[in-house]
Amino acid sequence: MSAEAPTAEGVLAFLIRTIVEEPDAVHIETSGDDRCKFSVTVADGDMGRVIGKRGRVANAIRTIVRAAAISDETEIDVDFVD
C-alpha cells in the first residue's frame, strides 16, 4: 500500500476486487509527487466490468476513492490501464 494514501488505496483495492471475476489479477501502481495517482490493471475480460456502461462504474469508483482520500489528506487520480 502507498505511504501517501493508505486508506484510499485500500478502498480502491476492495472495490476493484469485488467487481472483477479474477481478483488475483488486480494490480494497483502508485505514482506522483504532489498528487497521488493510482494506475489500475485487471485481467483482460474484467476491464469492461470496471469501466461499466458509459464509464459510470469507473466514475463511481473515482468518486468513492477521492472521498476516502480526505482522511489521507491528499488528492487522488485513478486511471484504468488497458
Confidence label for 2 from pLDDT (cuts 50, 70 and 90): low
Query: Dihedral (C-alpha) 58, 59, 64, 68: value to the nearest 10 degrees?
Result: 90
Of 75, 5, 16, 14, the closest CA to residue 40 belongs to 16
Give the residue-averaged pLDDT of 43-52. 93
Q: Which domains does the chain have, with CATH numbers?
A: 6-80 (3.30.300.20)
Beta strands in the chain (DSSP E): 27-31, 36-41, 76-80
pLDDT tens digit sequence for 48-80: 999 999 999 999 999 999 999 999 898 999 999
Confidence label for 38 from pLDDT (cuts 50, 70 and 90): very high
Euclidean distance between CA atoms 79 and 82, whole angstroms: 10
